[in-house]
Amino acid sequence: MVRHRGIAEFAIAQFREKFPHADSDTLTSKCTVEIAVKGPDGMAIQMQVTVGQLLEMIAPLSELDGECKGCPANLSGRAFGCIGKVDYPIRKEAEDWLLARLPDDGKDANLVLLLKYLADLGIDGAPVEAQRAKPRVFERKEAAVRKWGGWLGPKMQITSSQLLHMLAFSESIGLEQAQLYSRPLGLAKLGSEPGEISDAVEQFRVFLRAVNLAARLNAKLAVEA
């Protein structure tokens, strides 16, 4: 429902920009959007609704806005600040930024543990690659890669597709997972890192802050790819 509120706000802004003199009745009855809803089998289906219908659907949210003040899970300080999103297409710099967070030292204990975790659970990035093959989902045509090891040791690598598979392609991130992800990705440092970042990277930064917060609050983080 929170996602639908964002869709409604975006649709209204676009309609107002295109038709600045249209009255409210025209806006609510003539402006239509497509939303995803769950069908009887639990699978998502696309449904077209008017902005008026969508506003009726999300009306109950306004009664709950005040409940978010002071909530430790509210990352943004706004209503329902515990919920965020990452926009498509996934930008190249966001994938590069995510991979760059991994340790430089191939012998780092947290990296070794992460590599074992990826191998044991078969997290190979395949679901992400399937999405990458579709238009307008990823800016990169191929996954970014980090490599470790050399002549005297085993060669190891992790792709950005593997990290996205690990982070986003499950229904939730539990406490143990959040703790495991926080260490090799340096999530405890997210709030103190200097430098400007793009909007695309900022969306990933907020998501990783949520992972780190889940680890600290002993909470489960719901994820939907």
Report pLDDT digits (tens) over 113-157: 999 999 999 999 999 999 889 888 899 999 989 998 877 667 889
Tokens of 87: 């926009």
Q: How confident is the model at residue 209 (pLDDT cuts 50, 70, 90)?
A: confident
Task: Tell whether pTM > 0.85.
Answer: no
Query: Measured between alpha carbons, how far is 96 from 132 in angstroms, rounded to an integer?
Result: 15
pLDDT of residue 225: 66
pLDDT at site 94: 92
Residue type, 28: T
Among residues of the chain, what percentage have pLDDT more than 70? 93
Residue 48, beta-bridge partner list:
34
